[in-house]
Every structure is written in C-alpha cells, then in structure tokens.
Amino acid sequence: MQAKLSVVALSVAAAFALSACGEKEAPPAPVAAPAAPAAKPEVVVKLGHVAPMTGPQAHLGKDNESGAILAVEELNSQGLEIGGAKVKFELVSEDDQADPKQGTIVAQKLVDAKVNGIIGHLNSGTTIPASKLYFDAGMPQVSPSATNPKYTQQGFNTAFRVMANDIQQGKVLGEFAVKQGAKTVAIIDDRTAYGQGLADEFRKAAEAAGLKVVANEYTNDKATDFKAILTKIKSKKADLVFFGGMDAQGGPLVKQMKDLGIKAKFLGGDGVCTPEFMKLGGPAADGQYCSLPGMPLEQLAKGPEFKSKFTTKFGYEIQLYAPNVYDAVMVIADSMKRADSIEPAKYLPEIGKTNMEGVSGKIEFDEFGDLKGGAISVYQYQGGTLTYVETLGGAPAPAAEAPAAPAADAAAAPAAAVEEKK
Amino acid sequence: MKNWLNPKSMTGIALIAIALIVLPHVVGMGGQAWVRILNFAILYVFLALGLNIVVGFAGLLDLGYIAFYAVGAYTWALLASPHFGLHFPLWAILPIGALMACVFGVLLGSPTLKLRGDYLAIVTLGFGEIIRIFLNNLNSPVNITNGPQGITLIDPVRIGDFSFSGTTQIFGFALSGPQKYYYLLVALAILVIIINVRLQHSRIGRAWQAIREDEIAAKAVGINTRNIKLLAFAMGASFGGIAGGIFSAMQGFVSPESFSLIESIMVLAMVVLGGMGHIPGVILGAVLLTFLPEVLRYAVGPVQMALFGKILIDPESLRMLIFGLALVLVMRFKPAGLWPSPERSRELSDKPVEAVK
Amino acid sequence: MDIFLQQIINGLVQGSIYALVALGYTMVYGIMGLINFAHGEVVMIGALVSITVTSTLAAAGMPIGLAGLFGLVAAILVCMALGWSLERIAYRPLRGSPRLTPLITAIGMSIVLQNLAMIIWGRNYLTFPPLLPKVNFEVAGAHFTLVQVAIVLLSAAMMSGLVFLVYRTKLGMAMRATAQNPAVASLMGVNINRVIAAAFVVGSALAAVAGVMVGSYYEIAHYQMGFMLGLKAFTAAVLGGIGNLAGAMAGGVLLGVIEALGAGYIGDLTGGFLGSHYQDIFAFVVLIGVLMFKPSGLFGEKTGDRA
C-alpha cells in the first residue's frame, strides 16, 4: 500500500507544482519599463515575431529580427497615437527552429500572450501550420519571407505576405533561364517545403518555356556533400543548374561544382541570395545568379536610407529579408492607424486595404493576402557583391482579374488555382 | 491485480481523478500553450509506454520507434483531410491507424530477429530513417504523402457534431480546444495504461521479460521467441500509431520533419530516464522530459536577468545545454532511472539479495 | 561510364573520413560495449578548434600551411583531452550499470557538446581556410583535388598507425586483452582504467583529424556537423563488424562508395522512381541487407565473452 499512497501524493504534488509553474510563467515577455508616462494613457502594442533563431538558418532569423527591431524603434520614436492613446510598440521574439512542431508551439504561446499581431514566420514550412492557429484566434499574420504559395491558398483571412510568392519566383526564374540561352537544365531541390515548392514552380515554368530538364536530383537541408549528385548532373551535360534551397547548402554546392569541373551556370532563388552564400561559396560563387522578390534596395525610393540605417544600428549587412520584415511591421502599424484601433478584430479588415510605399516597394494586397504586383529581381554575384541584373514579372498596376470575390473570409476552400494570374 | 476496492485505494484513486480533472484548468491559467504542452506530454506518455514494451519488457533496443508514430499520424492525415478528400470518423481511423502501425511493427521487426543488442539498434534506427525519408519523398510519381509540404487542414477529432478544436461552452464553462483534447487524451491514456499493466503481468509479459533476461534460456524453456518478439514490436507500435493519429488531429498538420531521429532518441531517453520496464517510471519520464525543455524555454531568460541583470548566454542554446546536462546527471546518480521497478533497484543496490518476493 | 570513376573517387574520399570516425566508435565499443553517441561531436569540436586556431594564426601572419598544422595539433590535443574527460566524468562512474544507461548519458553529452559549441562558436557556418593549394587533377575524365588526395593518404597513414598501435605495442595488446575479457586481463596485470582511457583518447585523436579533414574538404564547419557524420560512421562500423578494426575501416570506405554510387545510379536504374532523394537511406538498406546474411557484420564482431 505504500506505493499507492506515494503515487497519490506524487500526482497531487505534481498537479500543484505544474500549476505553480504555469502561473509563474504567465507573463511571457520582459516588459521594458516605459518612460515617464505622458498625460495621455499609454498602451503597449505587442507584436510577435517568429523565425529560426537557432540552427542552420539562424543568421536569417537574426536578420529578420533586426529588421523588426528597427521598425519598432522607429515607430516608437514617432510617438503615434491610436484610438486616443499613445502607443508603444514592443517586439515579442520567438524561435521556431524552422521546425513545424516548434512553430505551432510558439504560435500557441503568442496567441495565449494575446499579442496584437504576428510578423512571421520565416520559413514556409513553419508559417503554414502556424497560420491555422492564428486564423483560429483571429490574429493578423504578415509573413515577410514565406514564399510557398499554399500559405495564402488556405482561405485564411488573417494570412498576408509582403513579397512575391514562389509561383511568381519560379516563373520568373524559368523565363530568365531561357533568356540566358540555356537549353538544358538540371534541377536540385533540398526536399523542404520551400525548396521543393520553388523547384516545382521553376520546373513548370522552364518546361513551358521550352527548356529540357535533364536531371532531377535531391539533397536535404543539412547536407554538405553534393559530389555524387553533381557528378551525375555533369554526365548529363546540363547548361544550367537550378537549386531550390538555402545558402547553407547552396554555397558548398557551388564550390563542389567548381571542384568537379562543371561548367554549367548556377541559378537559385531567394534562399541563396545572401552574403552567406558568397561566404560559403568563396570564389566559386562568382558569376552565379539568384533572385530576390522585389526590387533592389538601391533602386527603391527608401532603399538606400534603410540600408544605411540598418548597418549603422546593427553593424552587419542585411542578409535577406530585413527590409520586408520592416515593411511588415509598418503594414500592421499603418492598418492600426487607419482603423484607429490596436484590436486585431478591428484593424484586420484594414490590412487588406493597405496601399503604402514600403522600403521594398509598393504594398497592396490581393484578395488572397498575396502582394499585388510582386516583382522579382535577378542578381548576379560579381567580384564579391551582388549586382543587379534585371527585374521581371509583376507590373505595378494589378492586371484585370475576374474574381468579384469579397476580400474578407473565404471559406476553407481547397487550393484555388491562383497561379495563372501572375 | 491488487484489490482495488478497499478504502485506501479508493481515496487514492479519487484524489488522482480530481487532480486529473482539474489539471488543465490549473495549468491553463498560465496560458493555453501550457495545456498544449500537457497534451504533448500525454502523447509522449503513449509513445514511451509503447517503447517500454519493446525496450523495457522485451529488452529489444529500438532506435527507430518514431516511425510508428509517423505511420499513425499519416494514416489519420490521409483518411481525414482534403488531401484525398476522405473524412473518416474517429472510431474508424484510430483502429486503422493502430493496425497499420502494427503491420509496420511486424515488418520492421522481422529482419531484426536474428540480431542482437546494438546491431538491432542500428537497424531499427535505419528503419526509422527509411520511413521518414519515404514520407518525405512519396509525392511523385503518385502523390501519396505530399512530400515535404506535409498535409494540412487535417480534420480535428469529432464526435457527432462536437468538435475538439475551437472553444465550446459547456454548462456555462468555456472549454478551449486544447482542454478538450486533454480529456480525450487522458481517457485514452488510462485505457493504454491499463492495457500495459495487464500485459506486463500476463504470460506474454513474462515471456518478454524472460527474453530480456536471457534469450537462450527462454528458448530452452519453450518460448517461441520469434513470435513473442514480433508481438512486442506490434503491440509497441500500435500505441505509437494511436498517439500519432491524435497528434495529427490536434495539430491539423503533419510533415516528415516532426518524425526525425531525435524524436526516437527522446522517447528512448524518456523510457530509460524514467525507469525502464516500470510503467509509473516511464510515465514520469515522459512527462518530465516533455515539460523540462519548455519550462527551461520560459525560465532561462528571466532567471539570467534575475541573477546577472542581463542575458549572458543566449537562452535557446542554454536551455538545450541544461537539458543535456540533466540527462547526464540523472543517469549518473540514478542509473536505473528516476523510478525503477522494485526488482531493478534491488538488483542495483548493494544490499544482499534475499529470497525474491 | 566516365562518371563511374568519378563516383568511386567521391566515395573513396568520403569513405576514408567515415573510416577514421568509425574506428573511434569501434574501439570504444570493442572494449566497453558502449555506443559513444558523443563521438560525432568530438569530430565537430576538432573541426571548430582547428578553424579558430588556424584563422587566428594566419591572421597574425603565419603562412597558411604552418597555421594549418598548428590548428591540427591543437585540435588533436583538445579532442584527446575531451575524450579523456568524457570517459572519466561521464562513463567511468557508470560501469556496471544497466546497458542503456551509458547510452542515454552519451546522448546527453552529445546535446551538451553541440550546444556548448553553439554558444562558443555561434550558429553560423564557419568557413575553413583552404589549407592546401587548390590543385586539380584529371584522370580519365575524373576530377579530383589535392585535398582529396591528402585525405585518402592521411587516413591510410592514420589507420596503419592505429593497426601498428593495436598489434605491435604493449598498450595495444592490453587493449585487445581487455576487449576479450576484462576480468582476466586485470588479473594478468592490465590496468583496465588506463586501457579504457587510452582507447577513448586514441579514438578522439582520430576524430580530431577526421574533423580537420571534413573541414578542409568542404571548407565549412558548424556546430551540427557531427551528428549525421557520427551516425553514418557508426553505421559503417556496424557494417564491418563492430569491435573489429579492419571491419571499421572497410565498412567506412564501403559506405562512402555505396552512397556515392547509389546517389549516382539508382535513379537511372529505377527509372526515376528511387533517385537521389533516397540517398541517405542507401547506406541503411545495404546495412540491413548485409546483416540479414551476416548478423555480425561483414568481418564479424570481436567483442569477446560478454553476455
């Protein structure tokens, strides 16, 4: 009978210990002590930001977070007033480790913490499952970097993104490949939601444009050795190698291409358009092409200013999406201003009506939450820097589309064929 | 089985029951995220108990156990989502999921029958990886699993009109989605625990223990080691399959990334840390190892602030570091686990061995 | 067929690295019956230490080759110390405990080392400075670099060194005796503790060299590189017959070649159904196949009379 009682005691104790735990952890984010409150009531607006802060993409997560921090500080320095109170923005930063399971856990955490809006996540693989949680909670979510088309095809009226998606990106890259004079192409993807999605879109576009796909090879997002698949590609004599994946693999890949004496050119998406790619690829990265959503910072009205502000504040270069994160924060703030409320339920409808000039270009959303007129720019690595080549796709004015579908909640319709519009 | 009806046991059971009923609301005061974590803890309890059959009872070191979880999860996903357009009800899918997992258990177990010890470990590890990679790639030529994108918009558990996701009002009480799932999980857990306890004390259970202690002697006594081993794999797998199904429904989304080798290792750690072969110990191990990283996630930042006034070490790395240290320390000081079975602690202590029982 | 030779070369280089790491696993397992899950992390620490030392010295003006040598030596020393501490602190107190306990400890140490590395070296991928000049050779259509040649030669050298140690020295004899039967060996005057510590230390030294090799081959290193490598190396050790030195070496090289050939040819052989997306599991499939016919690995295991 001793065992019985000890079991009882243990479980009761455990229940109370857990409850004590739970209550102790209730306030999630450290609240920065506000400055001397003005006469007007001051209200704190918490914005959740999620990205992988550990793991192979941690450098991109940090980059995103920095963009958000910059935006929040600027907003705070403007001393905005919304709904009759001074607002102070605060960033609640979480790490999802690019793992979908972690993504849903931190999403739930943020929903519990009743933040006012979400910037994130970074990877499509985590953004998509988390978006369901945010939708169920009616919490607006603006992703600065999830390019997988599915994100906005789920019928969630809370899901938005501030850059072009992979359908547009793949298409542009396919056209660019043809323009470069390639006749045969080998496609490598890293078997992640992002890499596979992008590679599939590229394949569709390339085949439609008349390119012959001579090899489909695969790797994973933790690999460092690509010699086997590259050797195979070499034997198929492709003119161009397309890689759907991230810089952590792209860099070594391009290096090994050189080691093996492969003459083909390399083309990748936004995942490899980072300084990290150049660092990891070394001299082999020179002359390779990649694409980024939007226009180059230097050519945008507010671009150079943002760039210098960023590097001055943080002391390192922009990796990839920091401008888009900045814009995402601004979109939310702007919608709040227009709705004159920080309540998610009130400013959510305003997001769809956004029409502003962000750092990354004009921001307007279509009825699915995608960016209207999303342009994609192609760049080439030359002499250690990313040089702009050209911009394809996405006219500034929206092409005349058929749908009279109302902006707000679509029913949870299975993936509508959204591709053809852009 | 001991006599459950005497007053002492009844009060014990009543107290536990009350604690269990109240738990999600108490925990929920810290936020629904904690209820979610509690639900994950219960799912891991299923997994740990299942692995306990293979590793704890039968002594077969299985490092690829998470594959059965994956099978259960994908079975639910395929049968209850827009992917194939099928929407089977709960009472149909769970048994199918358990059955599929059993089948895979036998499939994975068969080649390992002649292997001993650590060869078994690496082969099962290999199987775990094989399943995961197949799940990640079976999207062409025929799209079965939708590859790395995973399957989304999976139906939640539904009984009639009552859906387990979203908040419902019952008797003026608001029950959130996670809380409803909690009750479902606890009910299933109780069932699973009872099955496990009965198995342990049955002829099959004793056969497993015989194989664990000395396989050759077991064969000599007439135990059909081949079938008993396969049964261990199958039964262990079935629990994983059930847990996988509920996981799928709860998350609304599955992708191969959730079923990696690290997960298998985690479940093994739960079994060993808790007390291999001892059901209460295993349950403790599962709950503890699920909560520890999450508690650390919340605590590491504030604790550093309190102690040092600033964040010295990045919380993310620190929390996993502490987790690893916890594993090492527990194993160092309690090699038989936190709550080993009485026989085991007798074995490992230095007291002279008296006649057993 | 010109890529056949290329794939073989790819596989050979990768396999030599696997072999070096597999030796560490097999030595420890042969003597202690323990799967040292943290071994992969020792390789990683070796790579990262050598990057730090080499880069610092090179930045201070030392010629890169010399800096690289210093880096290698530093890595070896650090890893030897690490291996010794692992054994002393984590594993020795657990001798005599249930079989799975040291396994969980090893897993715990693996997590600790990974996160320690992340804290010390950061999360980003670090670039390895090229230690050898970039010379490309071409033979019969297959390309290989000086680095690859160096790796294969160095691996072979280290493996011969190990064989010499184990079969021609007193320490080696003591190791073999302990592997066969620790109780009797200690009765014969062998200091078991010293022998076990030596096994860890030697294994860790090999791991350090492997780490530097991996680093210079791919020119990157980061805190998560040890896990997969360790896993594959362990698979290689099992493939060859665990506890068996020759087995580990053969298993490592074989594994590398299988992976390369598999990734290169399976796609064509199965008409695209099974292609390089499955390359990570070729090794396991082969392993399972081999074990079904030879349950103790290719060369049989040598772990003596332990139940």
Count Cβ atoms within 10 A of the Cβ of residue C261 and give its class: 0-12 exposed, 13-18 middle, 19 or more buried.
middle
* Domain architecture of chain C: domains with CATH: 2-293 (1.10.3470)
How far apart are alpha carbons B62 and C59 in whole angstroms?
Answer: 49
Nearest to B261 by CA among B43, B63, B44, B101: B63
Give the residue-averaged pLDDT of C99-107.
Answer: 87
Q: What interface predicted TM-score (ipTM) does this complex get?
A: 0.86
Are the beta carbons of B336 and C98 separated by less than 8 Å? Answer: yes
The answer to whether A16 and A88 have CB atoms below 8 angstroms apart is no
Check whether B355 has a pLDDT greater than 80. no
Are the beta carbons of B305 and A30 separated by less than 8 Å? Answer: yes
Residues of C in contact with A255 (CB under 8 A): 218-219
Q: Which residue has the tokens 């073989």?
A: C8
Give Cα separations from A150 to A154, A156, A192, A414, C276 (angstroms).
7, 11, 14, 10, 26
With a pLDDT cut of 70, the percent of chain B lying above it is 93
How far apart are alpha carbons C46 and C75 in whole angstroms?
Answer: 5
Residue C286 near chain B (CB below 8 Å)? no
Nearest to A284 by CA among C67, C14, C219, C221: C219
Q: Which of B122, B265, B276 sits opposite C287 (nearest CB)?
A: B122
Strand (E) or helix (H) holding A91: strand A85-95
Nearest to C94 by CA among C80, C109, C81: C109
Number of B/C CB contacts below 8 angstroms equals 130
The answer to whether C213 and C34 have CB atoms below 8 angstroms apart is no
Q: Which of C101, C113, C297 sits opposite B335 (nearest CB)?
A: C101
Are the beta carbons of A30 and B301 separated by less than 8 Å? Answer: yes
The answer to whether A345 and A313 have CB atoms below 8 angstroms apart is no
Instruction: Identify residue A2 by its one-letter amino acid code.
Output: Q
pLDDT 10s digits, B189-220: 999 999 999 999 999 999 999 988 888 899 99
pLDDT attached to residue C157: 93
Q: Which of A342-346, B114-118, C270-274 has the highest mean pLDDT?
A: A342-346
pLDDT attached to residue B3: 57
Residue B293 near chain A (CB below 8 Å)? no
Question: Which residue in chain C has the smallest CA separation from A233?
Answer: C264
Check whether B327 has a pLDDT greater than 50. yes
pLDDT 10s digits, A234-255: 888 889 999 999 888 999 999 9
Nearest-neighbour CA in chain C from B55: distance (Å)? 10
Q: Which of A22, A97, A111 sits opposite B27 (nearest CB)?
A: A22
Instruction: Tell me the pLDDT band of C1, cut-offs 50, 70 and 90.
Output: low
How far apart are alpha carbons A144 and A160 in whole angstroms?
Answer: 9
Give the residue-averaged pLDDT of C24-47.
Answer: 90
Instruction: Identify residue A31 by its one-letter amino acid code.
Output: V
In DSSP terms, A88 is beta-bridged to A44
Instruction: Tell me the pLDDT band of B2, cut-offs 50, 70 and 90.
Output: low
Please state, rounded to an integer, the average pLDDT across all residues of chain B. Answer: 85
**CB under 8 Å to C126, separation ≥6 — which residues?**
C48, C51, C220, C221, C222
User: pLDDT averaged over consecutive 10-residue blocks of chain A (422 residues)?
Assistant: 45 46 41 48 89 80 90 89 86 85 84 88 87 88 88 88 86 88 91 88 90 89 86 89 91 89 90 87 88 81 86 84 90 89 87 85 86 84 84 48 34 35 34
Supply angle C-alpha B28, B31, B32, rounded to 5: 70
Helix (H, G, I), strand (E, B) or coil at A186: strand
Q: Which of A216, A219, A252 sits opposite C220 (nearest CB)?
A: A252
pLDDT 10s digits, A117-155: 999 899 888 898 889 889 888 899 999 988 888 888 888
Neighbouring C-beta atoms of residue B92, cutoff 10 Å: 11
Check whether C258 has a pLDDT greater than 70. yes
Residues of B in contact with C103 (CB under 8 A): 268, 272
Q: How far is CA C3 from the centre of its chain?
A: 27
Chains with 3+ CB–CB pairs under 8 A to B are A, C
Are the beta carbons of A225 and C14 separated by less than 8 Å? Answer: yes
The b/e string for C184-215 (b: 16+ C-beta within 10 A; e otherwise) is ebeeeebebeebbbbbbbbbbbbbbbbbbbbb
Q: Which of B6-15, B46-55, B163-172 has the highest mean pLDDT?
A: B46-55
pLDDT attached to residue C273: 67
Q: Which of C123, C127, C263 sits opposite A58 (nearest CB)?
A: C123
- Global pTM value: 0.84
What the block records as the tokens of C150 is 């160096």
Nearest-neighbour CA in chain A from B222: distance (Å)? 34
The answer to whether B79 and B283 have CB atoms below 8 angstroms apart is no
Instruction: Tell me the pLDDT band of C271, cut-offs 50, 70 and 90.
Output: low
Are the beta carbons of C98 and B348 separated by less than 8 Å? Answer: yes
pLDDT 10s digits, B219-233: 999 989 899 999 999
How far apart are alpha carbons C252 and C159 in whole angstroms?
Answer: 12
Instruction: Tell me the pLDDT band of C298, cut-offs 50, 70 and 90.
Output: confident
Residue B82 near chain A (CB below 8 Å)? yes
Check whether C53 has a pLDDT greater than 70. yes
Q: How far is CA B221 from the centre of its chain?
A: 32
The answer to whether A130 and A121 have CB atoms below 8 angstroms apart is yes
Are the beta carbons of B129 and C102 separated by less than 8 Å? Answer: no
- Cβ within 8 Å of C, A 205-244: 216-220, 222, 224-225, 227-229, 231-232, 234-235
pLDDT attached to residue A40: 66
Q: Choose from B317, B344, B347, B349 for mutation: most chain C CBs within 10 A.
A: B317
The answer to whether A190 and A246 have CB atoms below 8 angstroms apart is yes
- DSSP labels for B296-349? HHHHHHHHHHHHHSS--S-HHHHHHHHHHHHHHHHHHH-TT-SS--HHHHHHHS
pLDDT 10s digits, C59-86: 888 888 888 899 999 999 999 999 999 9
